[in-house]
Structure 1
């Protein structure tokens, strides 16, 4: 699809994107004409006031650029709440902490189900970098669960210690990635961003000695192969492990174990841009208005968790997790007799679980720390794929 076929941006949005491009140009100049792609991605997503997640553009739902699972159905959050409730009941008390809460719908769904199960947390903390999204989350919670909204507390930084349940839905894929290219003759290069012919462009440079080079060498990539490494992912998992004193952490995202992520046939990597429900391979299209993501290496997530004292509780596809957590029973409770009510719910469930939609591409991984569960963590009883990690 060409840019002329994509939905047009408003003049105000275009002006914001152009301002962001100027800041990126200045950053390139300050780095002597070459900016690592991870730095570009960080600016495109998080530059104050202009980045995709720090600006004011609508991101989620039909009017945004993509639809996340909580936007599809409240049954998604209800299933996650099954895992949350088990952990909170085991602890006797505790809190919930959500990374990157989007529109706030997942928080509302989890709180609604926890109330039904009589297992409400002391607090529901949200860590989000976007001021615009925080306001949207407040509005969503006051609209959907006004009597529970006072349980929600927004944090600007991670707490020093935390006991309870940590959840992150489509958070890991938004951690900036470095682009690594192993040339045909086996030279490791880092793909960066330059300003060329009055536009942003790619440029490869030899990968300098660094932890990033060590990580790239460990992958033993074939020749003529492009892939991503998320330099900040180890720190994110380490921080989560450090703050979690007792409890569990659950992450849902699209990705693969390393054996699939770095498969020889995946030689162009997984980097994608998302704009108005269209996927693109050009990461330079309207910076600040398009989302940038890469798939998650779940083997790396597991290894970092294990290295920092987290116990793996399970790794399954999203479809398997939701079915384990009672999705079928929840759908049946809607009742097929009222087709007008049942049909859209069934359609959403199909998208959440179908291998052709989100069911197999999205994975769910969970860890625990200092937590003695009497049974397996809810959602991981069947179909565990941990052996693939």
Structure 2
């Protein structure tokens, strides 16, 4: 196994983690470690200068998201966002974690003057620079922010944002729940479980040992967004499940995963800062958090069904064979079409949103 405290980013991040562990009495809950590994200024995965987003490992990227796979993703999503802008009487788009800027580029090109201002909330300085390059044609409309304003209006979009928010790890061992955290052991990062009063929102059936995640940070983010969005709607696209599926007895190993060089691995303690760490989204928790703060669910569907509802079939018919092949995973059930979901939230009157008109699964939340 590679040394965790080698040179470069990993070495500096290991040193920072060791300092935090010393100040915390020798143990950090996993969500605090995950926040360091992803967001520590200049060192965390999303705060350093590695490439991250791209279609091929040869580009130096670690994974590909829907907007990089095909421009048809953004063009189809634009149909739903145009309707949402009209229905909510707003003219601003907000994108959280805009990655390479590929989605923003398509949305701005498709929506034209319907978008007066496009605000990207982005923590990564290196990604901001990449986004600036991609969005040069719209210097008068695009702006960046590092946090939410006290009040906001408009339509919010977040593609693969919720999965990158730090999670707490809970382990049921011998019938007792523990919180999994990180400590130092012989100069290496290691796991340590401590008994806890924390619980998943539903108790997984059975008595077998069980590892899972809870999502207080993602839910707090949605709650804050709902409190501050005085008019508008929000659409989040991510991989995940409703609560009953998330805490199913068979999902006993949890969903935590790392991504590097277009390969997946399950060990977030190795080479921190050099790979992405993600967990699937509990969409029931997201819907409830929004509801508690005054935003209701507009709809919930698989990504494949959402894109078909919003008209991707027509775009595919007009596309070249190469473009159709590239876009196919977006809707294919065995690829992103089923695993990825779209949840729509709204402030104000309900409307029959185009993306959820067939195959809405809100009843499963």
C-alpha offsets along residues 226-282 of structure 1, whole Å, 9 cap, x if unaligned? Answer: 100122122101111012111110000000011111010110100001011000011
Conserved in 1, the CA contact under 8 Å of 2:165 and 2:218? yes
Structure 1 residues without counterparts, runs of 5 or longer: 5-12, 335-341
Task: Show the counterpart of 1:381.
Answer: 357
Counterpart Cα distance in 2 of 1:295 and 1:316? 16
- Check the 8 A contact 1:248/1:371 in 2, yes or no: no
2:140 equivalent among 147, 150, 163? 150
Runs of 4+ in 1 over 3 A off after TM superposition: none
Q: Which residue of 2 aligns with 1:283?
A: 268
Given the alignment of the two structures, is residue 360 of structure 1 paired with residue 345 of structure 2, yes or no? no
Which of residues 120, 131, 153 is equivalent to 1:126?
A: 120
User: 8 Å contact 1:93–1:122 — kept in the other structure?
Assistant: no
**What residue is the counterpart of 1:297 in the other structure?**
282
CA gap of 1:74–1:192, structure 2 versus 1, over 3 A, is same
Looking at structure 2, the residues matched to 226 and 310 of structure 1 have their Cα atoms a distance apart, in angstroms, of 31
Q: Secondary structure at the match of 2:338?
A: coil
Q: Secondary structure at the match of 2:271?
A: coil
- State the shift of 1:53 in Å: 0.4
Match of 2:296 among 293, 311, 322: 311
The farther-off stretch of 344-353 and 216-225 is 216-225
> CA–CA distance in 2 between the matches of 1:107 and 1:308?
27
For the pair 1:333 / 2:318, whether they are aligned, the reply is yes
Whether the 8 Å contact between 2:100 and 2:127 is mirrored in structure 1 is yes
SS of the residue 2:343 aligns to: strand
In 1, distance between residues paired with 2:181 and 2:254?
15
Which runs of 5 or more structure 2 residues have no equivalent in the other structure? none
Q: Which secondary structure state, in structure 1, belongs to the residue aligned with residue 213 of structure 2?
A: strand
The alpha carbon displacement at 1:372 in A equals 5.0
Give the equivalent residue in structure 1 for 2:237.
252
**Conserved? CA contact 1:65–1:276, under 8 Å:** yes
* 1:79 match: 76
In structure 2, the residue matched to 1:198 is 187
1:180/1:227 contact within 8 Å kept: yes
Tell me, in whole angstroms, the C-alpha distance in 2 between the residues paired with 1:197 and 1:268: 26
CA contact (8 A) 2:232 2:346 kept: yes
- Please state whether the residue corresponding to 1:379 is helix, strand or coil: helix
TM-score using structure 1 length: 0.89
Deviation at 1:377, TM superposition (A): 1.1
TM-score (norm 2): 0.94
Partner in structure 2 of residue 347 of structure 1: 325
Give the root-mean-square deviation of aligned CA atoms: 1.6
The corresponding residue for 1:163 is: 153
- Deviation of 1:159 after TM superposition, in Å, equals 1.6
Residues 1:234 and 2:224 aligned together: no
1:219 aligns with 2:202: yes
For residues 65 and 370 of structure 1, what CA distance do their matches in structure 2 show? 39
2:105 aligned residue? 108
